[in-house]
Amino acid sequence: MVDAKRLAKNTLLMYIRMILIMSVSIYTSRVVLEKLGVDDYGLYNAVASIVAMVTFLNITLSTSTSRFLTFDLGKGNLENLKYTFSTSFFSHLILAAIIVLLLETIGLWYILYKFVIPQGREFAVYMVFQISVLTTALAVIQVPYTAAIMAHENMNVYAYVGVFDVFVRLGIVFLLGIFSIDNLIFYALLVAAVQMLVMLTYIIISHRKYEETHIVKHFNKNTFKGMMGFIGWTLLANLTNTVKVQGSTVLLNLFFAPAIIATKALANQITQAVMLFVNNFRVALNPQIIKSYSAGEYNEFKEWSLRSTVISCDLLLLLSLPCVVTLKTIFKIWLVEVPPLAVEFTQIAIIGQIIESISSSTYIPFVASGKLKSNALWGIVTGGGYFVALYLIFEYDGGALWVQWLYLLLSILGVFILRPYLLHKEVGFNYKEIFICIWDCFKPIFVACSLSYILMLLFGEELWEQVTLFITDFILTGFVIWAFLEKPMRVYVHNYVKLLMNKIR
């Protein structure tokens, strides 16, 4: 059964973590952009995107490890929990070696022979690539320990380490320019050092708190077989997102200037910052949904899977629309130099994320049940289609904004066609309850977006007008969301907010 008090406590901890991280990260990215310059900032993100093309393997094992640990906790199988963690740890060591091998062969070939590098920056890009490979390997090894913390729902540990991480990353920015070393290379080195420090912190804390993180010299073949089956299909599913997000950055590097890549990086940063609010709610709730499924509480599992989808979408809508209508002013205040198309890129990206949140929120039933095959196969089709279509558009002189427009179109098709079909076929959800959930998500989206557009036309560009617009749009969107909530959902939201307020007091 879902524990509302624990959910409220964990959500509050995640929100505190998120607010601190988001505030510091926004300032940090501004300073990094200023210190490195638009071109070097774009180069750093372009190199990082190539490395990230293989980190979907890391995301796959992270999802799988968290699911299996949470599943064992839900069943109360503590002995198997030890074998699951140890098997996962050894799997991550193997994965780290595979990632390094892939990056040092295919990735290095692309950097040396295909990557578009401004004259005189060849050595810097090569060094950043090598350092990024090390950083990625460290992040892979860290995953089982992070997954253990999340499975136990100890969000306080996750919150403290996350805040520590972001403040250290802020501190290293001010070291740029002090020493006689290329800033781009030095920044990559400092990021790698921070990643190593964070990894060691997670390992030490996990060893002290959780008995299962003490590695046993036993490789459970049955556990490994089950994990590999789950991992295989999750791998294909995550490949879709990697191709859409990182593959599009690689294509931008082939057809456009580094400044456009910097624009996309900033758009991604804004959307990720807003998505943190939704993701933190889901991180706090998902373990309980998985435990409900493993304990055989299927009605509650379905109810919370759909209910949390509506809440996630409404939450993202409430937080993102005020940003969309005042984005031009936000960029003027935030950045010293605003890259080209930054406002348009980010506005379309945010709207796309609002739609995509419906699909991403309903992915947890597949994770809980382990029925991932069809979802993964369709993901390959849509992800591959996106990459090919985008390449053809750019080849025939399409604009850079097609990166976001095409993503938005795929998100809409996924919500209305693909996700309902898969939820019904694989997990046994009723079509009626699925489309009621989707309709509950889209009603406030239509009305709030229309009203926000009218408000944007009514207000001028003076700072006080933009601040008033932001506040007015936030309040109006909140009223629209509340008006469309069903009575049971209103009662739940009211009680949930009340629990949050009690935790704050």
pLDDT digits (tens, 9 = 90+) for 237-268: 776 776 677 788 888 888 887 788 888 888 88
pLDDT score recorded for residue 451: 92
Residue 6 CB partners (closer than 8 Å, separation 6+): 153, 288
pLDDT digits (tens, 9 = 90+) for 188-224: 888 888 888 988 998 899 888 888 887 776 666 777 7
pLDDT digits (tens, 9 = 90+) for 68-79: 888 887 777 777
Sign of CA dihedral 330, 332, 336, 339: positive
Residue 394 CB partners (closer than 8 Å, separation 6+): 251, 254, 255, 402
Q: Helical H runs in 243-341?
A: 248-255, 258-294, 298-325, 327-334
Torsion-angle region of 115 (φ positive above 0: left; ψ -120 to 50: alpha; else: beta)? beta
State mean pLDDT over 159-169. 83
Task: State the helix-helix crossing angle for 258-294 and 298-325, rounded to 10 degrees.
Answer: 160
* CB 249 within 8 Å of CB 267: no
Q: Within 13 Å and on the Cβ side, how many CA atoms surround 432?
A: 0
Percent of the chain with pLDDT over 90: 6
Place of tokens 């050092």: 193
Residue 60 CB partners (closer than 8 Å, separation 6+): 231, 234, 235, 238
pLDDT digits (tens, 9 = 90+) for 282-329: 777 788 888 888 877 788 888 888 888 888 888 889 888 998 889 888
**C-alpha closest to that of 130 among 191, 42, 181:** 191
Span of 15-29, 127-141, 242-256, 260-274 with lowest mean pLDDT: 15-29
pLDDT score recorded for residue 251: 86
**C-alpha closest to that of 368 among 129, 108, 64, 36:** 64
Residue 39, classified by CB atoms within 10 Å of its CB into exposed (0-12), middle (13-18) or buried (19+), is middle
pLDDT score recorded for residue 11: 67
Rounded to the nearest angstrom, the gap between the alpha carbon of residue 69 and the centroid of all alpha carbons in its chain is 21
Kindly tell me if the per-residue pLDDT of 4 is higher than 60.
Answer: no
Structure tokens at 482: 């509340």
* CB 184 within 8 Å of CB 124: yes
Kindly tell me if the per-residue pLDDT of 504 is higher than 60.
Answer: no
Rounded to the nearest angstrom, the gap between the alpha carbon of residue 387 and the centroid of all alpha carbons in its chain is 20
Kindly tell me if the per-residue pLDDT of 443 is higher than 80.
Answer: yes
pLDDT digits (tens, 9 = 90+) for 165-195: 888 888 888 887 787 788 888 888 888 888 8
Percent of the chain with pLDDT over 70: 90
pLDDT score recorded for residue 480: 92
pLDDT score recorded for residue 341: 81
Structure tokens at 109: 């070939």
Mean pLDDT, the chain, whole residue set: 81
List the Cα angle 496/497/499 in 5-degree steps.
65
**Alpha-carbon dihedral of residues 385, 391, 395, 396, nearest 10 degrees?**
40
* CB 327 within 8 Å of CB 346: yes
Q: Which of 84-93, 279-288, 333-342, 487-496 has the highest mean pLDDT?
A: 84-93
Cα–Cα dist 273/71, whole Å: 29
Cα–Cα dist 88/84, whole Å: 6
**C-alpha closest to that of 36 among 268, 337, 333:** 337
pLDDT score recorded for residue 472: 93
pLDDT score recorded for residue 471: 92
pLDDT band for 380, please (50, 70, 90 cuts): confident
**C-alpha closest to that of 294 among 139, 76, 43, 472:** 76
Q: Which of 80-89, 167-176, 279-288, 475-484 has the highest mean pLDDT?
A: 475-484
Kindly tell me if the per-residue pLDDT of 503 is higher than 60.
Answer: no
* CB 342 within 8 Å of CB 469: no
Kindly tell me if the per-residue pLDDT of 505 is higher than 60.
Answer: no
pLDDT digits (tens, 9 = 90+) for 395-421: 888 888 888 899 889 889 988 998 999
Kindly tell me if the per-residue pLDDT of 447 is higher than 70.
Answer: yes
* CB 187 within 8 Å of CB 31: no
Residue 74 CB partners (closer than 8 Å, separation 6+): 290, 291, 292, 293, 294, 295
Helix and strand tally (H, E) in the chain?
Answer: 19, 0
Cα–Cα dist 139/198, whole Å: 9
Cα–Cα dist 301/460, whole Å: 47
Residue at 74: amino acid letter: G
Span of 49-58, 149-158, 410-419 with lowest mean pLDDT: 49-58
Cα–Cα dist 413/357, whole Å: 13
